Chains A and B, each alone.
Chain A
Amino acid sequence: MSRIDHAEASSQFIADRAHEAFHDKRLWELRLKRDATRDEVPEWPQLRDLASAIKEHTLSHLAQYLEQFEARAKANGAHVHWALDGEEHNRIVADILSQRGATTLVKSKSMLTEECDLRPYLERRGISVVETDLGERIQQLDNEPPSHIVVPAVHKLRGDVAALFGQALGSDAGNDDPQYLSEQARQATRPLILGAAAGMTGANFAIAETGSFVVCTNEGNADLGATVPPLHIASIGIEKLIPRFEHLAVFVRMLSRSAIGSPITQYTTHFRAPRPGSELHIILVDNGRSARLGMADFWRSLKCIRCGACMNTCPVYRRSGGLSYGAVYSGPIGIILNPTFDMRRYSNLPYASTLNGSCTAVCPVKIDIHDQIYKWRRLMAEHNQLPFVKRTAMKITGRLLADPKAFRRTIAVTDAALEHLPRFLLYTRFNAWGKQREVPVSPDGTFHAWYLKNRKVAP
């Protein structure tokens, strides 16, 4: 697959001023709300330490916890399946459905099923799939992937949704009142839930001790999908495990506060066993996770609870939009997850960062996100994955920095050139700095010249 050009995709996003400005403002608002709810919890730093430690403990004992989870889930009456990759996951879902003659599936939001590209797989086999989360439904109707892991349609404005619903749901395309639009989605989705043969959810946490899992949502759609149809399928990444039920509290207390700045999601639902007369299927999915576990520099990314706080705080994400990452996961967490799936395709992503470390600072499970971004840059260079311009520039810079005399000559010449060169020579495609801003005015002399003149102690 071809290499994602994040910078190019971002420049298209930025070109639309209204969308870009709103996107930036909305996500920064979520970051500020997160700060406010965090400040209400005096033990927040302790919770972060605990969450990180619980996750690292679980990951270092993952095989035994997976086995314990499976045994307990089976004892609860659930069916447990294992999927090596997205393809196997999709096949398992399709088999469960077709064995029961089910052709309609309602699902709640799950990044894992996005990873597996489940929807087109099922649709090719004659199974209709309906996303029930509002943002995810908007994205499904618009034939776009989610642009954010918590708020999938955050890059859209109300007018976009009005036009889309007018076309797809037959609502009044001229009415862009969010209350009206949400009501349209509610009315259109409800009969689909009532008529569905099966419901599907992801899971935020899977508990080894109880063989159960917890789903955190706000709209009530996941509970409807899981409790109205007679068949519930839950897809769970193997990194979602935590050892004991009491550990759940640490994560639940931080998840929604980190994500959208609310103390808890409207619904925190614990599924342990199938309802009488219904079936519960759990699919444990690897899809690259066991390999990531073995990467010394990157295994800690498996601690991620998908809150999106790193995205909301990231200046590059806020100004470039999630779709520009060309991947299931965007923002800082996407930068460190995506290359584990395809290093070449996502080789540009580690440069979509200022390395300011804000992502690491807000992460509730203390993933060293910006350090991992830096390490990915190094790996990309080592594997010759740098684009030509960057590679050449780095090579020349490296040589100059290694040779003080050549460096001084070049600086003097460059300063003079910056002052006198015409714009069309300065602002070329090789000058990334000058794309959206003016090149700074160069000083009258170099620091070295100034130092020699004023301090007079030459080395």
Chain B
Amino acid sequence: MSSRERILDAVRRNLPPVADVPAVPVFEEDDRTSLWPRFCAGLERMGGRLVEPATGADLEALCRALFPDAAVVCSATPEIAGTRSAAAAARPHDYDDVDVSVVRALFGVAETGSVYLDEAALVRPALGFLAQHLIVLLDPADVIANIHSACHRPEFRDAPYGVLMTGPSATADIEGVLIRGAQGVRSLTIIAAPRR
């Protein structure tokens, strides 16, 4: 008998009493006007930075102003050219020298201040982790209530790779001292930018 069969066999022999599966409500609040302020508060709490430019502002110039010292700005968005297109990379390792990556989130989550990115948004997932800093464009209209709502979104459920990102990478493994910028990006900036 293969290990697979032996495990399944042992599991079947030892199954505990049958329990029903409960229905899971989505616990959404009715007030849609509070979604954006809640998102902003959640983002700030998790160490992210929010930039709300004026309507029609030049995003390219804004990105340069946010990171004036960046030599390599690698963009996966049509709105920002940067110095390099994310699609130009032949393999993930090519993002090693990226100072700032620019991507667009599919949606944001008010409860936690998270943004959702799939591999289409990132071109290659490593773009969101190997860069020193990450800029995420988010349409405030794309903010949903909570993690339940997020788990009902097909673009989260069905993506080959998808990540709910909440603030920059962080660690508190030495004496509980919070350090932003562990192994992944050192900072996360969300720019409120309606889809064109």
How far is A210 from B170 in the complex, measured between Cα atoms in Å? Answer: 29
Q: Chain B contacts of A59 at CB under 8 A?
A: 15-16, 19
Quick one: which of A87-118 are within 8 Å of B by CB?
88
Q: Which of B56-64, B79-87, B98-106, B123-131 forms part of the interface with chain A?
A: B123-131
Q: Is the interface of A mostly helix, strand, loop or mixed?
A: helix
Q: Mark B156-178, 1 if CB is under 8 A from A, else 0.
A: 11111111111111111111110
Q: Indicate which residue in B10, B152, B167 contacts A290 across the interface (CB closer than 8 Å).
A: B10
Judge whether B162 and A269 touch: CB under 8 Å: yes
* In the assembled complex, B71 has its CB within 8 A of some CB on chain A: no
Judge whether B92 and A228 touch: CB under 8 Å: yes
Q: Mark B78-122, 1 if CB is under 8 A from A, else 0.
A: 000000000000001100100000000000000111100001000
Judge whether A250 and B24 touch: CB under 8 Å: yes
Judge whether B179 and A275 touch: CB under 8 Å: no
Judge whether B161 and A227 touch: CB under 8 Å: yes
* In the assembled complex, A351 has its CB within 8 A of some CB on chain B: no
Judge whether B14 and A84 touch: CB under 8 Å: no
How far is A182 from B178 in the complex, measured between Cα atoms in Å? Answer: 10
Cβ distance B78 to chain A, nearest Cβ, rounded Å: 22
* In the assembled complex, B65 has its CB within 8 A of some CB on chain A: no
* In the assembled complex, B66 has its CB within 8 A of some CB on chain A: no
* In the assembled complex, A29 has its CB within 8 A of some CB on chain B: yes
Nearest B-chain residue to A92, judged by Cβ: B3
Q: Chain B contacts of A54 at CB under 8 A?
A: 21-22, 24
Nearest B-chain residue to A22, judged by Cβ: B175
Nearest A-chain residue to B5, judged by Cβ: A82
How far is A8 from B113 in the complex, measured between Cα atoms in Å? Answer: 46
* In the assembled complex, A140 has its CB within 8 A of some CB on chain B: no
Q: Chain A contacts of B185 at CB under 8 A?
A: 220
Q: Indicate which residue in B24, B130, B181, B184 contacts A249 across the interface (CB closer than 8 Å).
A: B24
Q: Chain B contacts of A161 at CB under 8 A?
A: 174
With A249-B150, A269-B163 already in contact, the answer to whether A218 and B169 are too (CB < 8 A) is: yes
* In the assembled complex, B7 has its CB within 8 A of some CB on chain A: yes
Q: Chain B contacts of A286 at CB under 8 A?
A: 3, 7, 10
* In the assembled complex, B13 has its CB within 8 A of some CB on chain A: yes
Q: Mark B2-43, 1 if CB is under 8 A from A, else 0.
A: 111011101111111111111011010000000000000010
Judge whether B157 and A56 touch: CB under 8 Å: no
- Count of A interface residues, CB-CB < 8 Å: 90
Judge whether B126 and A224 touch: CB under 8 Å: yes
Judge whether B129 and A56 touch: CB under 8 Å: no
Judge whether B179 and A182 touch: CB under 8 Å: yes
Q: Chain B contacts of A154 at CB under 8 A?
A: 173, 176
Q: Chain B contacts of A227 at CB under 8 A?
A: 92, 124-126, 129, 161
Q: Mark A294-315, 1 if CB is under 8 A from B, else 0.
A: 1010010000000000000000
* In the assembled complex, A168 has its CB within 8 A of some CB on chain B: no
How far is A41 from B163 in the complex, measured between Cα atoms in Å? Answer: 23
* In the assembled complex, A379 has its CB within 8 A of some CB on chain B: no
How far is A252 from B27 in the complex, measured between Cα atoms in Å? Answer: 14
Judge whether A186 and B129 touch: CB under 8 Å: no
How far is A226 from B119 in the complex, measured between Cα atoms in Å? Answer: 13
Judge whether A224 and B184 touch: CB under 8 Å: yes
* In the assembled complex, A409 has its CB within 8 A of some CB on chain B: no
How far is A186 from B172 in the complex, measured between Cα atoms in Å? Answer: 14
Judge whether B171 and A293 touch: CB under 8 Å: no
* In the assembled complex, B182 has its CB within 8 A of some CB on chain A: yes
Q: Which of A61-69, A321-329, A423-431 forms part of the interface with chain B?
A: A61-69
Nearest B-chain residue to A42, judged by Cβ: B27
Q: Chain A contacts of B24 at CB under 8 A?
A: 50, 54, 246-247, 249-250
With A178-B175, A182-B171 already in contact, the answer to whether A270 and B161 are too (CB < 8 A) is: yes
Q: Chain B contacts of A266 at CB under 8 A?
A: 46, 165-170, 184
Q: Chain B contacts of A274 at CB under 8 A?
A: 160
Nearest A-chain residue to B113, judged by Cβ: A263
Q: Indicate which residue in B4, B150, B164 contacts A82 across the interface (CB closer than 8 Å).
A: B4
* In the assembled complex, A53 has its CB within 8 A of some CB on chain B: yes
Cβ distance B43 to chain A, nearest Cβ, rounded Å: 11
Judge whether B148 and A249 touch: CB under 8 Å: yes
Judge whether B182 and A186 touch: CB under 8 Å: yes
Judge whether A265 and B182 touch: CB under 8 Å: no
Judge whether A151 and B184 touch: CB under 8 Å: no
Cβ distance B117 to chain A, nearest Cβ, rounded Å: 10
* In the assembled complex, B151 has its CB within 8 A of some CB on chain A: yes
Judge whether A224 and B130 touch: CB under 8 Å: yes
Judge whether B162 and A270 touch: CB under 8 Å: yes
How far is A104 from B42 in the complex, measured between Cα atoms in Å? Answer: 38
Q: Indicate which residue in A60, A186, A275 contacts B15 across the interface (CB closer than 8 Å).
A: A60
* In the assembled complex, B147 has its CB within 8 A of some CB on chain A: yes
How far is A442 from B189 in the complex, measured between Cα atoms in Å? Answer: 66
Judge whether B19 and A60 touch: CB under 8 Å: yes
Judge whether A179 and B158 touch: CB under 8 Å: no
Cβ distance B93 to chain A, nearest Cβ, rounded Å: 6
With A179-B179, A268-B164 already in contact, the answer to whether A134 and B15 are too (CB < 8 A) is: no
Cβ distance B106 to chain A, nearest Cβ, rounded Å: 13
Nearest A-chain residue to B126, judged by Cβ: A227
How far is A283 from B194 in the complex, measured between Cα atoms in Å? Answer: 42
Q: Chain A contacts of B126 at CB under 8 A?
A: 223-224, 227-228
Q: Indicate which residue in A135, A189, A272 contacts B159 across the interface (CB closer than 8 Å).
A: A272
Nearest A-chain residue to B118, judged by Cβ: A270
Given A26-B176, A220-B183, 15 other A-B contacts at CB below 8 A?
A29-B176, A53-B21, A76-B160, A183-B181, A194-B96, A223-B126, A227-B129, A227-B161, A228-B92, A228-B93, A253-B111, A266-B165, A267-B169, A275-B125, A286-B3
10 A-B pairs with the lowest CB-CB distances in the bound complex, closest first: A220-B184, A294-B14, A220-B169, A219-B182, A135-B173, A290-B10, A273-B160, A227-B125, A178-B177, A82-B4
CB-defined A-B contacts under 8 Å, sample of 9: A50-B22, A60-B16, A84-B3, A84-B6, A135-B173, A182-B173, A238-B7, A263-B112, A263-B166
